[in-house]
Chain A
Amino acid sequence: MSASNIHEDQKYIDGLAQNNSFVIRAIYDKFAPKVIGYVCKNSGDREQAEDLVQEVLLVIYDQAKTKNLQLTCPFDAYFFLLCKRKWLNILKKSSLQEVTINEEIVSANEPVQEPVLETETFATRQSLYEHMFQKIGDVCKELLTKSFELDSMEEVAKALNVTYGYARKKKSLCIGKLTKMIQESPVYQNLKT
């Protein structure tokens, strides 16, 4: 992606990644009320809306931190569409409840669709990785935790009372095992198509 495609609202993304309170406040001031209004009009309450806003901001933060998220559309539209789609998913899942959708704010803005889908795919991948990590087995879990918590593999070897060579090799094999489990999951296959 060329630098010229990056929208000036990238500053919100950067501000989130830097945990900049001024920027976060600005987001709450300018963009959150619209989301809260939407949720309240569509079978939700204020508390649920606030949780939704926090969850979406956290996903954006994660994507900014790990994937160097670069925004190519206005933040307002991007953020609102993410929240809206996530809320509709939540409603769909809790289908016991009767749902009324008040579709007033329609976002037919083309350039927004792509970054929104990218962020959604990122979020799905994140939760898939997390889910598989929980299933990987205790030995790998401990070794990987230490490998990324500690500064060097020498320290990891020492902490686990194994040789440096073993720790290094085991780290790659554990990540390998994790990627295999991810690749074999239906969610991953779905994402690919």
Chain B
Amino acid sequence: MEDRDYILFEDYLSHSLSESERETFEKRMKEDEDFHEAFQLYKETSAFLEHKFSDKTEREAFKANLSKISNAQSGNTKTSAKKVKLLHPWKLAVAASIVVVVGFFYSQWFTTPVYSDYADYPQISLAVRGEVNEMAAEAENAFNTQNHQKAIPLFKSLMENEPENREIQLFLAVSLVEENAFAEADALFDSLLKEPSAYLNQARWYAALSKLKQKEYEETEAILRLIPEEAEEYPKAQKLLKKLK
């Protein structure tokens, strides 16, 4: 291609051609295969550069998010092996009773934070496999519009198809807390907290909020302390812990 062709490509892409010039250009594209191929490559190279430079910050943010989630995931699997050894029931009982005693005194003296200050949920996008597309969309929509009463039965039906889907379990638990169905919610949280998964720290955070809503402050604290430093939820967990003291 000649220099003038490249200038023409750029003018076409930036909509700087007059109508008749544009028509001539499009006609040549249809008739001249080399011209067509060169233009396609020009367009693609521009898109590449656009993505490389204009979307640089966005792309860096995506990369950072990937490593954070990847690290959290492998961190979960590594620490879980250690934890199994440490969790002797008597130690747990001692720890829990210390928390109860200490928590009791402290909670008497300071104003305590409330659930509604912390209960803000991101918009969800359900990742469901199989032929349950519509129901998932409906559940997603109900959850995102805070219609938890409607979301609960939908999540439950979805769980019948995928009993092991921790994502659905987590959202169902959150909706149950919103509707004050604590026993059912806490049972779900218990099973979510037992196993390492990509949702472990999120589950810990929302399990703690469930306890907060039930005004069980000692348990709230105990769960919050499980959230490790590298987790996304760590800063807000620490903030809430400070307020609980």
A: residues with CB less than 8 A from B are 8-9, 11-12, 14-16, 19-30, 32, 46, 50, 53-54, 57-58, 61-62, 65-67, 74, 76, 125-126, 129-130, 133, 144-145, 147-149, 168-169, 171-173, 175-176, 178-180, 182-183
Q: Ordered nearest first, which 9 A-B pairs have the shortest CB separation?
A: A176-B6, A148-B53, A172-B10, A26-B127, A29-B198, A25-B198, A172-B6, A28-B198, A19-B62
Q: How many residues of B contact A (CB 8 A)?
A: 50
Bound form: Cα–Cα A58–B126 in Å: 21
Contacting residues, chain A, for B166 (C-beta < 8 A): 29
Residues of chain B within 8 A (CB-CB) of A169 are 7
Decide if A23 touches B70 in the complex (CB within 8 Å).
Answer: no
A-B contacts, CB under 8 A, total: 134
Q: Which secondary structure dominates where chain B touches chain A?
A: helix
Is there contact, CB below 8 Å, between A22 and B124? yes
Determine whether the beta carbon of A175 is less than 8 Å from that of B62: no
Is B127's CB under 8 angstroms from A129's CB? no
Q: Which residue of B lies closest to A20 (CB)?
A: B125
Give the interface SS of chain A, mostly helix, strand, loop or mixed: helix
Q: Which residues of A have CB within 8 Å of B202? A: 25
State how many angstroms separate the Cβ of A61 from the closest Cβ of chain B: 6
Given contacts A22-B124, A61-B62, A54 and B70 within 8 Å (CB-CB)? yes
- Interface readout for B69-89 with A: 1 if CB under 8 Å, 0 if not? 110011000000000000000
Q: How far is B53's CA from A4's CA once the two chains are assembled, in angstroms?
A: 34
Q: Which residue of A lies closest to B5 (CB)?
A: A176
Kindly identify which residue among A27, A67, A176 contacts B127, using a CB–CB cutoff of 8 Å. Answer: A27
The reply to whether B58 and A23 form a contact with Cβ atoms under 8 Å apart is no
Q: How far is the CA of A54 from the CA of B38 in the complex (A)?
A: 33
Q: Are B65 and A24 in contact, CB atoms less than 8 angstroms apart? A: yes
Q: Check if B147 is an interface residue, CB within 8 A of chain A.
A: no
A23/B125 in contact, CB under 8 A: yes
Partner of B7, one of A15, A62, A172: A172
Complexed CA–CA distance, A178 and B166 (Å): 48
Please tell me which one of the listed residues A15, A50, A67, A168 contacts residue B74 in the complex, with CB atoms under 8 A apart.
A50
Chain A residue nearest in CB terms to B47: A66
A46 interface neighbour in B5, B52, B53, B74, Cβ under 8 Å: B74
